[in-house]
Amino acid sequence: MCLVDATAFCYRAFYALRNLSTSYGQPTNAVFGFVKMIKKIIDEYRPDYIAVCFDVSRDTFRSKKFAEYKMQRPSMPDSLVSQIPLIKEVVSAFGLKLVEKEGFEADDLIATLARKAASEKFSVTIISSDKDILQLVDGNIKVFSPYKDEGVTYDTDKVKERFGVDPALVPDVIALMGDESDNIPGVAGIGEKTASRLINEFGTLDNLIENRQNIDKEKLRKTIAENLEKIELNRQLVRLKDDVALDFDLADLAPGEADAQELVRIFKKLEFRSLLKELGSGFDKETQKAETEELGDSGLKDLLYAAEEMAISAEVESEMVISAKGRLLRVVQVEAGLRQALADPRIRKIGHDLKKAVHLLKKKGITLRGLSFDTMIAAYLLNSAGSTFALPDLALNYLGKMVREPLAGAEMAGLILELKPVLEGRLEENSLFSLFKDIEMPLTEVLSDIEDAGIALDVKVLSGLSADIEKRLIKLIEEIYDLSGVQFNINSPKQLREILFERLKLPVVKRSKTGPSTDEEVLRKLADKHELPKLLLEYRQLMKLKTTYIDVLPQLIDKDSGRLHTSFNQTGTETGRLSSQNPNLQNVPVRTDIGRQIRRAIIAGEKDSCLISCDYSQIELRVLAHLSKDEALIDAFKRGADIHRATAALIYGTDEGSITDEIRETAKRVNFGIVYGLTAYGLSRDLNIPVDQAQAFIDAYFQRYPRVKEYIETQIKSAEKNGFVATIMGRRRYIPQINDRNQAARQFAQRQAVNTPIQGSASDLIKMAMINIHRQLKSSGLETRMVLQIHDELLFEGPQWEVKQVLVSVKDKMENVMQLEVPVRIDIKKGMNWLEMEPVR
């Protein structure tokens, strides 16, 4: 028989796993961890009988005896409370007996069942880590504590080894030493060793109390005499009640058949794909048996033009499966008719990750145009916080189908067709279809062309930069060793801790799980106290640049095109911003000189061509002015003022001409910081000023820009009420933590609620501009191409003689793409490389 302390398991799973929730915001970490633990128990013990015991509430017979019992424990977190009913559903679905009773703890239920089972000669294993449960151990009862390494099984000998007494005397020991976790106060001056020695010496707690005059130490004698009532109360609290009236027999604890259908339902609801796979059932048979047929090229062309739309599987490297008018068609060879249909934008293309399909087909010399509906992007718009937008996950979340992987082309095409009307309906319901149709889908084609264009790289520049950095690193390492007085592995946090905090005796700023932290924030704070942290920061910066960009970029050059082709991720951020990878050119550093030098290697690759940079000027602050409707902020932009000088002048009550660069920099930090939910602590850290001074500056800002403060408060209230915030174009971001009882989580969510509409609106704006510019460049027949997007900046490459014509068009499309309360402006530069660029008026 197995008896499980379920409440303890729930807490353990909750704190062991972090940041696990469904796409709709339901926390699931405790449920997932509990399921894994309960499955392990079932698989390893294969019990003939099992009871899963829960606490009901803190209102028990113990709390009536001692009001402070367990009171120091914080209330169960809301995100765990919401998971307990789900955990109980799982227990029932596994066919296990759930045991709970008002007024008693799980330990008392376990004690009652264990004693009854042992009296009937059952072999009992209790699964719990509580110390007080060890009092139940005897010849028929063992306790398995699963939380240390491989766990510990306590029999009578193991309990004696642990506490120095027989199991029955464990309450006597705890009565003296107390139990901090349950708020049972021990006797001052008596720890575990002393308590065990006293009980061993006198045999029992009763004998100890009765013969306390024989205790060898006078102080100890006096302490026990003064705490007799406390000791007795402690023993009553620790002693488990083993005669709770339960309205079932032990035979009722035999596990029933697991309800596979119910487990599938629960795991689908909670998006536990790995557990569904382990379950091995519930897979959708209809989808798995999807059949394909073949059709001649002429017949296929006729079918596609008659249907006016087609679904295409994205995994086209091995085979292509398309669908039209309910027919799944396997393509053996792409002939002229199908090639024409694929390239014809009049035939709407439906798929999952269509941009990937564009590139894969292009490698085969096939053009794919008319991208109409991408299920991956649709799902992203519906919930940008989703952990994955893979097709099997969408099938599970939106169709209730669980499909085996890997999917064949037929299954993919079939699922895509089933998902389209469901996702389309959801987009309409949430007022997102226009955003999807007019921005995200056209952008897919734009991005595929940008990725295909690629950028040119000057390998010699990077090679020279790598050699310079290598020399600097060698010198730096020597300087670091000299200052340390010993050679060590600079990349080892453990060895670095020893150098900084043991050898050099520098103060510990903060700690991690493994010891004193040596992260960048810590090194910056220690740089004022010793030269070594400053050198370590430089070393890390140079190593990161060298290993992330300088030595890596040349290796990523495509052999066929001779250019670098980054990949843009349209579903990678919760705010709607694009991200890029392989390589991530959006994160090329610009704050340091060496970081900027990397941009020198990004060049115009064709003869008589140049690069053109068009960068939105302070676009997020302009969006903030538009959203907040703050008169002073709007006026500053309309006047064409330097917004940071204007802000500083308002705060200090002086004219803009008298503002120093230092004061302007402070105002700049605040201006941009407000967009990201700046706190006084954050500003004080950034500017190295006292927190109260930073708070005074923020307060002064809001006095001068009162509508900005109103906007922030309104956004937070809206998020609290609706659970999401939206951009100007209606893009949504769900923020489930906005009402979290944990202050840190709630404040982080509030910053997201403020920032997302600003950053997301700026992102929508540049996406719209990209679409319009892309169409204009194509229709005009110009050679100039868009080659990179870096958040608020667009980079173009084209012939010198096209610059004037291109800039007129680009400036118009970027500055007039969306009408805001303030003018939208761009800064334009051109040059032979991305670093050395001259302003264009």
- pLDDT band with cut points at 50, 70 and 90 for residue 72: very low
711 and 626 Cβ atoms separated by less than 8 Å: no
Mean pLDDT, residues 799-816 taken together: 96
pLDDT in tens, 5-30: 998 889 888 888 877 888 777 889 99
pLDDT at 149: 60
Instruction: Report whether pLDDT(66) > 50.
Output: no
pLDDT at 694: 85
At the top level of CATH, the class of 621-750 is mainly alpha
CA end-to-end distance (rounded Å), the chain: 83
Instruction: Report whether pLDDT(63) > 60.
Output: no
Q: How many Cβ atoms sit within 10 Å of the Cβ of residue 94?
A: 21
- pLDDT band with cut points at 50, 70 and 90 for residue 76: confident
Give the whole-angstrom CA distance, residue 738 versus residue 725: 11
What is the share, in percent, of the chain residues with pLDDT greater than 70? 95
Give the whole-angstrom CA distance, residue 372 versus residue 352: 11
CATH 3.30.420.10 domain locations along the chain: 285-453
Give the whole-angstrom CA distance, residue 442 versus residue 774: 10
Instruction: Report whether pLDDT(251) > 50.
Output: yes
Q: Which amino acid is at 210?
A: E
Give the whole-angstrom CA distance, residue 200 versus residue 194: 10
Q: Which two tokens stand for residue 709?
A: 């403060």
CATH 3.30.70.370 domain locations along the chain: 572-620+751-841
pLDDT at 71: 45
Mean pLDDT, residues 205-228 taken together: 84
Chain position carrying tokens 């009652």? 112
pLDDT at 56: 81
Helix (H) or strand (E) holding 321: strand 320-324
Q: Which amino acid is at 663?
A: I
Q: What is the chain's mean pLDDT, rounded? A: 89
457 and 578 Cβ atoms separated by less than 8 Å: no
Among residues 399, 416, 423, the alpha carbon closest in space to that of 283 is found at 399
Give the whole-angstrom CA distance, residue 109 versus residue 160: 24
pLDDT in tens, 366-405: 999 999 999 999 999 999 987 789 998 898 888 878 787 7
Instruction: Report whether pLDDT(288) > 70.
Output: no
pLDDT at 59: 56
* Cα Rg of the chain (Å, integer): 34
Among residues 270, 275, 280, the alpha carbon closest in space to that of 39 is found at 275
289 and 318 Cβ atoms separated by less than 8 Å: no
- Domain 285-453 sits in CATH at 3.30.420.10
CATH 3.40.50.1010 domain locations along the chain: 2-163+240-253
Mean pLDDT, residues 425-450 taken together: 97
Among residues 727, 726, 728, 748, the alpha carbon closest in space to that of 738 is found at 748
At the top level of CATH, the class of 2-163+240-253 is alpha beta
Q: Does domain 572-620+751-841 have CATH number 3.30.70.370?
A: yes
